[in-house]
Amino acid sequence: MKRLGRFILALLRELADESAYQRHLAAHGRVHSTAEWRRFSEERQRVRSAMPKCC
Amino acid sequence: MKLLAHLFWAAVAGAAAFCLGAIALNRGEHINSIWLVLAAACSYATGYRFYSRFLAARVLALDDRRATPAERLRDGQDFEPTNKWILFGHHFAAIAGPGPLVGPVLAAQFGYLPGTLWIIIGAVLGGAAQDFVILFASMRRDGKSLGQMAREEIGKVAGFSALITVLLIMIIMLAVMALVVVNALKGSPWGAFTIAATIPIAVFMGLYLRYWRPAKVLECSAIGVVLVMAAIFAGRSVAQSAAVAPLFTLSAMALAIAIIVYGFLASALPVWLLLAPRGYLSTFVKLGVILMLGVGILFVRPELQLPAFTRFVDGTGPIFAGKIFPFCFITIACGSISGFHALIASGTTPKMIAKEGHARPIGYGSMVLESFVAIMAMIAACVLQPGVYFAVNSPPSAVGSTPAAAVATISSWGFPVTVPDLTGLAHEVGEQTLFYRTGGAPSLALGMARIFATSGGGRALIGFWYHFAIMFEALFILTILDTGTRVGRFMLQDFLGHVWKPLGRTSWMPGVVATSAAMVGAWGYFLIQGVRDPLGGINSLWPLFGISNQLLAAIALSLATTILLKMHGAKYLWITCAPLAWLVTVTFTAAWQKIFSPLPALGFLAQADRLEASLRAGTAADPAATQTLIFNARLDAVLCGVFLLLVTTILLDSMRVWIGILRGTREARVCEAPFVLSQLRAEEL
């Protein structure tokens, strides 16, 4: 049950882009800040909003 | 141990065959929905275990020693090796749209059997194989898009035609999805209020994430879900308020205009303000509702009320015209095979796959799960009394323009229903009427509400569950509308940038506004056309959408065939050629009938001729409106013809390449990235 709970939380964090943000911070050696989140989020949404969603 | 495994899989395959046989041969008795669930689950398990394994090992030769683009081009953002089950969830969330929910509901006019068989067989042998091969192809080509791969593997003509086809398909898709929302919300203050409330909720979430709690997306989404649930509860009070209800009681035309304005604003506004938070909200609500529906069906195990076949297999259906072949197979696209999936499978997912072997559960597995969603939608539609199902889904032109006339017509088809039945049900779910609510969404919501209410809350909560289901469908669709409009705008800017450079710049505001307006104007035109259509709109637009989506699948399968031919010669051509041949037969037949059928309910040109005759005879009620309808019918015919022409171009271009390779006059060079040994450690996955 614990593993299932961890998996669900990991999936939700991935869908919410929270994991991607943590990876971004780690990859670029930066710390969390409002400006950093905006930079990350805008770039991610720019790419994502150019991808079609399925019908 | 091996013997036990063999016995287990023999039992699963046997159960699939037995359940399919049971639902196919059952006549005259109501069948329990659990038969459909078991038939689907066992077929998918068998297909996944054997067919996808064969594809992975023998045909695609997946190699876990080979570094994927996620590892080679790792940048911490787009390219990132990701746990396979998390990526599975991500990919499933991207491919699962309203299509597998609405398509089966509409196709239920033929009865539950044709659609169910097409969903299961089409997904196992066609759709899942297509998604898997395209995902593999993109993964081996650094995550390239469908258009880029078509250009490299087939040629420039095919690549360009694929891009134009995608743009046109998006216009039709957005129009038909908007029409589904319009038909679900017209004259429904409760529904309109709930959906209107999701806009300020999304804006609040956008501000929350940007200014108050940056990066706390899960926390923010949880607040958003609570607010949406509160809006659904508040909707009942709004609908019952004499002062406020008229503000949210909107006609179809008013709703269409509101959605067009929303689409334009969402396309031009900053992404963080509306689009991104709405996207998060929609994803979580979508996955939650699908899970709830699955659990609800298993818990309630309702009996199907619709028969295996209805009389409308002959093509005289009130929801859309056309015989079971080819129209059942274009009405259900996303649940069995969908060209749009090829766009997703060649988008974000191939850039995040950690090991090549993961492409099998993600590509093939997600598609069969989506197919299962389509089976659940079919069940939700078929648990309704047939009379109720047809009263909700039929336009006045097919059943009569008064409730009394409608129930008389529907009862004469052998599906008894009365006006008090429908009125009572409408009051129960908090609606003024349920007659003529075409588009599939309201009848799906009724079926879902019945399943949810039986699972918990009883009839007292059926109104809440109905509007919960409507909110889920509309939220889902509006997310596709705003994202789709934006994607279409980017594509348009990309094209127009070649004509005049500033138009191609996404930071130049006049260009952004002009291309957003052009994109919204294009799908908005077809939406208004659908609202004005005397046959109900869905009759014209859904088949057009189905044809275009399946033609996109034909493009994806042509590309997949070219790649398999280059890899193995003719040996495994049947894998993609068989579904390709089926789709070409189905879509070309459907398109031909939609253009040239002499029946006005079916053929666009015949419909235009009939309207023209009424103009000449002076019997048209509104000559100006009739002129517009004539133009629209001819425009639909031309659009259908353009789809055929574009796909024929790609097919001929592909065949030229295939013949060259088979004759040995053309080099069979695959454009894969070179082999690099994977260094990825197990703990990184």
Closest B-chain CA to A11? B86
B126, B336 contact by CB (below 8 A): yes
Whether B267 has its CB under 8 Å from any CB of chain A: the answer is: no
Residues of A with CB under 8 A from a CB of B: 7, 10-21, 23-24, 26-28, 32-34, 37-38, 41-55
Residues 6+ positions from B63 with CB-CB distance below 8 Å: B356
Within-domain flag for B242: no
The tally of domains found in chain B comes to 1
Tell me what pLDDT residue B268 has. 73
Reported ipTM: 0.94
Tell me what pLDDT residue B458 has. 78
Cβ of A42 and B173 within 8 Å? Answer: no
B85-99, B446-460, B585-599: which has the highest mean pLDDT?
B585-599
Nearest to B271 among A33, A49, A52 (CB): A49
Within-domain flag for B674: no
Residues 6+ positions from B170 with CB-CB distance below 8 Å: A52, B484, B487, B488, B491, B523
Within-domain flag for B182: yes
**Which B positions 442-481 lie with beta carbon below 8 A of chain A?**
479-480
Within-domain flag for B220: no
- In this structure, the number of other CB atoms found within 10 A of the CB of residue B140 comes to 26
Within-domain flag for B217: no
Tell me what pLDDT residue B29 has. 85
Q: Is the pLDDT of residue B489 over 80?
A: yes
Within-domain flag for B672: no
**Which B positions 70-89 lie with beta carbon below 8 A of chain A?**
75-78, 80, 82-83, 85-86, 89
> Could you tell me the residue ranges of all domains in chain A?
2-44
Closest A-chain CA to B90? A15
Summarize chain B as % helix, strand, coil (round to 5): 75, 0, 25
**B684 falls in which pLDDT band (50, 70, 90)?**
low
If you average pLDDT over residues B27-46, what whole number do you get?
94
Cβ of A53 and B94 within 8 Å? Answer: yes
Alpha-carbon distance of B494 to B22, in angstroms, equals 53
Tell me what pLDDT residue B355 has. 96
* Structural domain containing residue B428: 9-188+249-663
pLDDT in tens, B229-273: 999 999 999 999 999 999 999 999 999 999 999 988 887 788 888
CA distance B497 to chain A (A): 16
If you average pLDDT over residues B561-574, what whole number do you get?
95
Alpha helices in B26-127 (DSSP H): 33-46, 53-54, 69-72, 84-95, 99-107, 112-121
**B497 falls in which pLDDT band (50, 70, 90)?**
confident
Counting DSSP H helices and E strands in chain B, the numbers are: 31, 0
B538, B438 contact by CB (below 8 A): yes
Q: Which among B169, B179, B269, B271 is the top mutation candidate for probing chain A, defined by the most A β-carbons within 10 Å of its own β-carbon?
A: B271
Q: Is the pLDDT of residue B645 over 80?
A: yes
pLDDT in tens, B112-159: 999 999 999 999 999 999 999 999 999 999 999 888 899 899 988 888
pTM of the shown model: 0.94
Within-domain flag for B227: no
pLDDT in tens, B499-555: 888 887 777 888 888 888 999 999 999 999 999 988 778 888 999 999 988 888 999
CA distance B220 to chain A (A): 10
Closest B-chain CA to A41? B272
For the ranges A34-48, B122-136, B482-496, B651-665, the lowest mean pLDDT is seen at B482-496
Q: Domain containing B625 — which CATH number?
A: 1.20.1740.10
Nearest to A51 among B83, B99, B487 (CB): B487
Query: What is the identity of the amino acid at B390?
Result: F
Contacts of A4 in chain B (CB under 8 A): none
Within-domain flag for B580: yes
Whether B94 has its CB under 8 Å from any CB of chain A: the answer is: yes
Contacts of B78 in chain A (CB under 8 A): 47
Q: Is the pLDDT of residue B466 over 70?
A: yes
